[in-house]
Amino acid sequence: MRLDKFLKVSRLIKRRTVAKDVSEQGRVWINGREAKASSTVKPGDELQIQYGQKIVTVRVERIAETTRKEEAGELYTLLKEEQRKPDDGWQ
């Protein structure tokens, strides 16, 4: 599944256009590598997403074309949530 669609379906980002923009800005990584909106996401992948000063790391558990709001959190496991340091090399 495309990264931008997974971010939207899992509700990590609410709109697909925003997910695409965030990806194109270099604020999403798959398994430690910078990812584009069109990158493929599969179960077992580790995603890092930068939201402003916060970095969230999740592991993809499963892929679904659509999901209800209550089930969206089952698509991933939250591994880490941390505040970004100004000098750590993140954008």
Q: What global pTM score does this model have?
A: 0.87
pLDDT, tens digit, 9 for 90 and up, residues 11-46: 999 999 999 999 999 999 999 999 999 999 999 999
Q: Write down the pLDDT at residue 90.
A: 52
Q: At residue 86, does pLDDT exceed 70? A: no
Predicted confidence (pLDDT) per residue in 56-70, tens digit: 999 999 999 999 999
Domain ranges of the chain: 3-83
Q: Which residues have CB under 8 Å from 20's CB, separation 6+?
A: 4, 37
pLDDT score recorded for residue 88: 57
Fold for the domain defined by 3-83: 3.10.290
CB 31 within 8 A of CB 18: no
Amino acid 84: pLDDT: 75
Reduced to 3 states (helix: H, G, I; strand: E, B; else coil), residue 5 is: helix
